[in-house]
Copies of this chain bind each other. A is one copy, B any other.
Amino acid sequence: MQEKILELLEDRKYGEIAALVKDMNPADAAAMLQELPEARMPVVFRLLPKELAAETFAYMEGDAQELLIQGFTDKELDEVMEEMFLDDAVDMIEEMPANVVKKILRHVDADTRKMINQVLNYPKDSAGSIMTMEYVDLKRRMTVEQAFERIRATALDSETVYTCYVTDSRRKLEGVITVRELLMAPKDAVLMDIMETNVKFVTTHTDQEEAARLLSKYDFLALPVVDAEERLVGIVTVDDAIDVIQEETTEDMEMMAAISPSDRPYLKTGVFTTWKQRVPWLLLLMISATFTSTIIASYEGALAASVVLTGFIPMLMDTGGNAGSQSSITVIRGLSLGEIRYRDVPRLVGKELCVAVLCGLSLAAANFIKLMLVDRVTLPVAAVVSLTLVCVVLVSNFVGSVLPVLAKRIGFDPAVMASPFITTIVDAVALIIYFNIAKLLLGI
């Protein structure tokens, strides 16, 4: 597609390009434009039909949007801003440098400007910051027919029309009704008789992750957002909820791998930014790892007495780290899906310890056989290593399951307690257990 278009551009066959792109889906058009060389992209963008151009713009990434805005005439910017939904506009503005923001805000009407500023003021990652204020609001005394009139009148400017909210004169949320229910109801039915009054909602300060979780739990297409006085101020739609879920997952995975989270896609991030995301954690973990060296050094006597013990250190440390990260990731994921609650913690730890005993014994047995038959070490050494394995897995599963819960309790993201952190703790504990069992059984 891109090559075909570049060829046509070369030959100045603009009409053919216009014919080629006029029926594209906006998401596809955005992807295609972003693959074009920067100098060519605005040319092709201008060949899109007006409405498609505006929709496509909303799907583009920040740097491409900035490039286009820099070159837009006043009229073009007006057209694009006119079509754009409020939440998309806010997303875009958040990524733009100040001079571009100024240019944009000059081209929206006073009402929209006020709304944009309001949304920009909500805390990052709150429901308020991702909501849109463009929804359909109805009144309780409307008939179904009047409701449809109102929906038709506001449909162009509403992000979703399928879930409508019934509010009183002070914008307090009274009920919710879907277009499906309206379609099924007689034309002269009055909303207050057919609307659902048990409305689920979040406040502007609710965490966006919680809002997404509720949307998914109740299979809603939109969730209303109210302010401190319980007045309806906006809605969060299901497509934004999916984006939030994906973003938060990426963040969790990054934290699990000891990377400071970033909002930008990997390939758009510069080498220095990526370095800054990663090196503090590597440094921190490197310094903690030197404690293990200190531990090894302090047992130098024991090691000198039985040199064969050194060889098993990596295996014991790795196994502890692996078992710990199995537990911690299970718990972190359970917490983030809401499957594990605080009151489940005793059951959780109990289960992890049972699993640890089973896993520990299986590993110890396999290891014992290998030590005796393959490595041909003495029975006491095999016993030390196998016994240590059982203890290490027990400790690892305990640490791995308890730390994420503790982190959440004191207000941290449980994901920071994932493998790298736990590995470091478990390493140290594994060595101490190992050398003490060795001292005890081998009498060194």
Contact partner of A25 (CB less than 8 A), chosen from B148, B200, B252, is: B200
- Residues in B with CB closer than 8 Å to A246 are 216, 245, 337
CB distance from A106 to the nearest CB of B (A): 28
Residues of A342-400 at the interface with B, using a CB-CB cut-off of 8 Å, are: 344, 347-348, 351, 354-355, 358-359, 362-363, 366-367, 370, 393
- In the complex, A278→B300 CA distance in Å? 34
- A366 — nearest CB in chain B belongs to which residue? B283
Contact partner of A179 (CB less than 8 A), chosen from B179, B184, B215, B286, is: B179
CB distance from A340 to the nearest CB of B (A): 7
B221 in contact with A329 (CB, 8 Å): no
Main secondary structure of the interface of A (DSSP, over half): helix
B183 in contact with A152 (CB, 8 Å): yes
Contact partner of A257 (CB less than 8 A), chosen from B266, B296, B326, is: B326
- A238 — nearest CB in chain B belongs to which residue? B238
Q: A271-B354, A326-B259, A420-B322 are in contact. Are A218 and B314 (CB under 8 A)?
A: no
A286 in contact with B363 (CB, 8 Å): yes
- In the complex, A75→B298 CA distance in Å? 75
A311 in contact with B296 (CB, 8 Å): yes
B325 in contact with A183 (CB, 8 Å): no
Residues of A310-350 at the interface with B, using a CB-CB cut-off of 8 Å, are: 310-315, 317-319, 321-323, 325-326, 328-334, 337, 339-340, 344, 347-348
Give the 5 A-B residue pairs with the shortest CB-CB distance, closest first: A257-B329, A293-B311, A292-B314, A219-B239, A289-B315
